[in-house]
Structure 1
Amino acid sequence: MEDLSDDQLVSAFKALGHPTRLAILGWLKDGNSFPPQDRPADEVGVCLKHIQARANVSQSTASQFMATLQRADLVICTRIGQFSHYRRNERTIAKLGEAIGGDI
Protein backbone atom coordinates (compact mmCIF):
# COMPACT_ATOMS: atom_id res chain seq x y z
CA MET A 1 0.00 0.00 0.00
CA GLU A 2 1.37 3.39 -1.01
CA ASP A 3 2.23 5.84 1.76
CA LEU A 4 0.37 9.13 2.19
CA SER A 5 2.27 12.25 1.16
CA ASP A 6 3.04 14.95 3.71
CA ASP A 7 0.29 17.11 2.15
CA GLN A 8 -2.22 14.27 2.50
CA LEU A 9 -1.22 13.74 6.14
CA VAL A 10 -1.59 17.45 6.92
CA SER A 11 -5.00 17.53 5.19
CA ALA A 12 -6.20 14.48 7.13
CA PHE A 13 -5.03 15.82 10.49
CA LYS A 14 -6.57 19.23 9.81
CA ALA A 15 -9.87 17.54 8.93
CA LEU A 16 -9.73 15.55 12.16
CA GLY A 17 -8.80 18.66 14.16
CA HIS A 18 -12.45 19.56 14.78
CA PRO A 19 -14.18 17.49 17.48
CA THR A 20 -17.41 17.06 15.51
CA ARG A 21 -15.64 15.92 12.34
CA LEU A 22 -13.62 13.46 14.41
CA ALA A 23 -16.83 12.22 16.04
CA ILE A 24 -18.54 11.83 12.64
CA LEU A 25 -15.69 9.66 11.38
CA GLY A 26 -16.07 7.51 14.49
CA TRP A 27 -19.86 7.26 14.07
CA LEU A 28 -19.45 6.17 10.46
CA LYS A 29 -17.36 3.21 11.62
CA ASP A 30 -20.71 1.54 12.39
CA GLY A 31 -23.10 2.98 9.83
CA ASN A 32 -25.85 0.79 11.22
CA SER A 33 -25.87 2.90 14.40
CA PHE A 34 -27.87 5.48 12.42
CA PRO A 35 -31.61 5.22 11.66
CA PRO A 36 -32.57 2.68 8.97
CA GLN A 37 -32.39 3.79 5.33
CA ASP A 38 -33.77 2.42 2.05
CA ARG A 39 -30.34 0.98 1.27
CA PRO A 40 -27.99 -0.46 3.92
CA ALA A 41 -25.39 1.98 5.25
CA ASP A 42 -22.57 -0.52 4.68
CA GLU A 43 -23.37 -0.44 0.94
CA VAL A 44 -23.96 3.25 0.21
CA GLY A 45 -23.06 5.07 3.40
CA VAL A 46 -25.13 7.19 5.76
CA CYS A 47 -27.43 9.91 4.45
CA LEU A 48 -26.27 13.43 5.27
CA LYS A 49 -29.59 14.18 7.02
CA HIS A 50 -28.85 11.44 9.59
CA ILE A 51 -25.31 12.75 10.15
CA GLN A 52 -26.72 16.26 10.53
CA ALA A 53 -29.29 15.13 13.09
CA ARG A 54 -26.79 13.17 15.17
CA ALA A 55 -24.28 16.03 15.13
CA ASN A 56 -27.06 18.50 15.99
CA VAL A 57 -25.87 21.02 13.40
CA SER A 58 -27.46 22.81 10.46
CA GLN A 59 -27.56 21.19 7.02
CA SER A 60 -24.97 23.65 5.69
CA THR A 61 -22.60 22.96 8.60
CA ALA A 62 -22.98 19.21 8.14
CA SER A 63 -22.28 19.63 4.41
CA GLN A 64 -19.17 21.67 5.18
CA PHE A 65 -17.94 19.07 7.67
CA MET A 66 -18.43 16.28 5.15
CA ALA A 67 -16.79 18.27 2.34
CA THR A 68 -13.72 18.76 4.55
CA LEU A 69 -13.56 15.03 5.33
CA GLN A 70 -14.05 14.22 1.65
CA ARG A 71 -11.27 16.60 0.51
CA ALA A 72 -8.98 14.80 2.98
CA ASP A 73 -10.07 11.51 1.34
CA LEU A 74 -11.36 10.21 4.69
CA VAL A 75 -14.90 9.64 3.43
CA ILE A 76 -16.48 8.64 0.14
CA CYS A 77 -19.68 10.27 -1.07
CA THR A 78 -22.35 8.41 -3.03
CA ARG A 79 -25.20 10.43 -4.54
CA ILE A 80 -28.59 8.73 -4.64
CA GLY A 81 -31.11 11.03 -6.24
CA GLN A 82 -30.92 14.32 -4.38
CA PHE A 83 -29.31 12.79 -1.28
CA SER A 84 -25.63 12.42 -0.40
CA HIS A 85 -24.52 9.34 1.51
CA TYR A 86 -21.14 9.07 3.20
CA ARG A 87 -19.00 6.16 4.28
CA ARG A 88 -15.47 5.95 5.61
CA ASN A 89 -12.61 5.51 3.17
CA GLU A 90 -11.02 2.62 5.01
CA ARG A 91 -8.05 2.54 2.64
CA THR A 92 -6.97 6.09 3.50
CA ILE A 93 -7.74 5.57 7.19
CA ALA A 94 -5.54 2.46 7.21
CA LYS A 95 -2.72 4.40 5.54
CA LEU A 96 -3.13 7.17 8.12
CA GLY A 97 -2.92 4.59 10.89
CA GLU A 98 0.25 3.14 9.39
CA ALA A 99 1.75 6.61 9.10
CA ILE A 100 1.36 7.24 12.82
CA GLY A 101 2.30 3.70 13.79
CA GLY A 102 -1.04 2.35 15.01
CA ASP A 103 -4.73 1.87 14.31
CA ILE A 104 -7.23 4.68 14.14
Structure 2
Amino acid sequence: MAAPAGLDSGDLIEVFKALGNPARLQIMQWLKDPDAHFGEYEPIADRRSVGVCVTHIQAKAGLAQSTVSSYMSTLERAGLVVSTRVGKWTHYRRSEERLAHLERAIGTTI
Protein backbone atom coordinates (compact mmCIF):
# COMPACT_ATOMS: atom_id res chain seq x y z
CA MET A 1 0.00 0.00 0.00
CA ALA A 2 1.35 3.44 -0.90
CA ALA A 3 2.00 6.25 1.54
CA PRO A 4 -0.51 9.11 1.64
CA ALA A 5 -0.17 11.79 -1.03
CA GLY A 6 3.01 13.81 -0.74
CA LEU A 7 4.95 11.16 1.20
CA ASP A 8 7.01 8.33 -0.18
CA SER A 9 9.32 5.76 1.32
CA GLY A 10 12.24 8.19 0.92
CA ASP A 11 10.39 10.74 3.08
CA LEU A 12 9.80 8.12 5.75
CA ILE A 13 13.46 7.10 5.71
CA GLU A 14 14.49 10.76 6.21
CA VAL A 15 12.12 11.05 9.17
CA PHE A 16 13.35 7.85 10.77
CA LYS A 17 16.97 8.95 10.31
CA ALA A 18 16.22 12.34 11.86
CA LEU A 19 14.44 10.78 14.83
CA GLY A 20 17.06 8.04 15.20
CA ASN A 21 19.29 10.45 17.10
CA PRO A 22 18.34 10.59 20.81
CA ALA A 23 18.97 14.35 21.10
CA ARG A 24 16.83 15.18 18.06
CA LEU A 25 14.05 12.93 19.36
CA GLN A 26 14.27 14.69 22.73
CA ILE A 27 14.03 18.11 21.06
CA MET A 28 10.89 16.99 19.20
CA GLN A 29 9.40 15.85 22.51
CA TRP A 30 10.24 19.20 24.14
CA LEU A 31 8.71 21.11 21.23
CA LYS A 32 5.44 19.21 21.65
CA ASP A 33 4.77 21.30 24.78
CA PRO A 34 7.10 24.30 24.53
CA ASP A 35 5.58 26.22 27.44
CA ALA A 36 6.17 23.32 29.83
CA HIS A 37 9.69 22.56 28.63
CA PHE A 38 11.00 26.07 27.97
CA GLY A 39 9.06 28.04 30.58
CA GLU A 40 12.25 28.94 32.44
CA TYR A 41 13.46 30.96 29.43
CA GLU A 42 12.07 34.41 28.64
CA PRO A 43 10.33 34.02 25.27
CA ILE A 44 11.43 36.30 22.44
CA ALA A 45 8.20 35.54 20.57
CA ASP A 46 5.08 33.45 21.16
CA ARG A 47 6.25 29.85 21.56
CA ARG A 48 3.02 28.31 20.28
CA SER A 49 2.79 30.24 17.01
CA VAL A 50 6.43 31.11 16.26
CA GLY A 51 8.33 28.45 18.16
CA VAL A 52 11.24 28.22 20.55
CA CYS A 53 14.41 30.25 20.05
CA VAL A 54 17.33 28.08 19.00
CA THR A 55 19.43 29.54 21.83
CA HIS A 56 16.88 28.21 24.33
CA ILE A 57 16.97 24.77 22.70
CA GLN A 58 20.76 24.88 22.88
CA ALA A 59 20.75 25.90 26.55
CA LYS A 60 18.29 23.15 27.51
CA ALA A 61 20.11 20.48 25.48
CA GLY A 62 23.51 21.51 26.82
CA LEU A 63 25.05 21.08 23.39
CA ALA A 64 27.23 23.33 21.26
CA GLN A 65 25.44 25.91 19.12
CA SER A 66 26.80 24.33 15.94
CA THR A 67 25.50 20.89 16.98
CA VAL A 68 22.02 22.20 17.76
CA SER A 69 21.93 24.16 14.49
CA SER A 70 22.88 21.00 12.61
CA TYR A 71 20.24 18.96 14.45
CA MET A 72 17.55 21.55 13.75
CA SER A 73 18.51 21.65 10.05
CA THR A 74 18.15 17.86 9.91
CA LEU A 75 14.72 18.03 11.54
CA GLU A 76 13.68 20.81 9.16
CA ARG A 77 14.86 18.89 6.05
CA ALA A 78 12.79 15.94 7.24
CA GLY A 79 9.79 18.27 7.47
CA LEU A 80 9.38 17.78 11.22
CA VAL A 81 9.94 21.41 12.24
CA VAL A 82 9.39 24.83 10.72
CA SER A 83 11.79 27.71 11.28
CA THR A 84 10.89 31.38 11.61
CA ARG A 85 13.28 34.29 11.93
CA VAL A 86 12.50 36.91 14.57
CA GLY A 87 15.13 39.60 14.29
CA LYS A 88 18.48 37.85 14.47
CA TRP A 89 17.03 34.76 16.18
CA THR A 90 15.73 31.58 14.57
CA HIS A 91 12.74 29.92 16.23
CA TYR A 92 11.52 26.38 15.67
CA ARG A 93 8.13 24.77 16.09
CA ARG A 94 6.83 21.34 15.21
CA SER A 95 5.10 20.92 11.87
CA GLU A 96 1.93 19.36 13.25
CA GLU A 97 0.37 19.02 9.79
CA ARG A 98 3.41 17.12 8.52
CA LEU A 99 3.43 14.96 11.65
CA ALA A 100 -0.21 14.06 11.05
CA HIS A 101 0.63 13.05 7.45
CA LEU A 102 3.53 10.98 8.73
CA GLU A 103 1.32 9.26 11.27
CA ARG A 104 -1.06 8.23 8.49
CA ALA A 105 1.83 7.17 6.24
CA ILE A 106 3.32 4.97 8.93
CA GLY A 107 -0.08 3.44 9.62
CA THR A 108 -0.66 2.58 5.97
CA THR A 109 2.81 1.51 4.89
CA ILE A 110 4.23 -0.40 7.84
TM-score w.r.t. the length of structure 1 is: 0.91
What stretches of structure 1 move > 6 A for 4+ residues in a row? none
Task: Note the residue ranges of structure 1 that are not aligned, 5 or more in a row.
Answer: none
| Paired-residue identity, % | 49
Q: How far apart, CA to CA, are the structure 2 residues paired with 1:74 and 1:100? A: 14
Task: Note the residue ranges of structure 2 that are not aligned, 5 or more in a row.
Answer: none
Q: Which has the larger radius of gyration?
A: 2
Query: 1:12 maps to which residue?
Result: 15
Q: Cα RMSD between the aligned structures?
A: 1.5
Query: What is the count of residue pairs matched by the alignment?
Result: 102
Give runs of aligned pairs for residues 1-104 of structure 1, distance below 5 A. Answer: 2-33=5-36, 34=38, 35-101=41-107
Question: Retained in 1: the 8 A contact 2:83–2:93?
Answer: yes
TM-score w.r.t. the length of structure 2 is: 0.86
Q: Secondary structure at the match of 1:41?
A: coil
Q: 1:3 offset after TM fit, Å?
A: 4.9
Q: How far apart, CA to CA, are the structure 1 residues paired with 2:103 and 2:29? A: 14
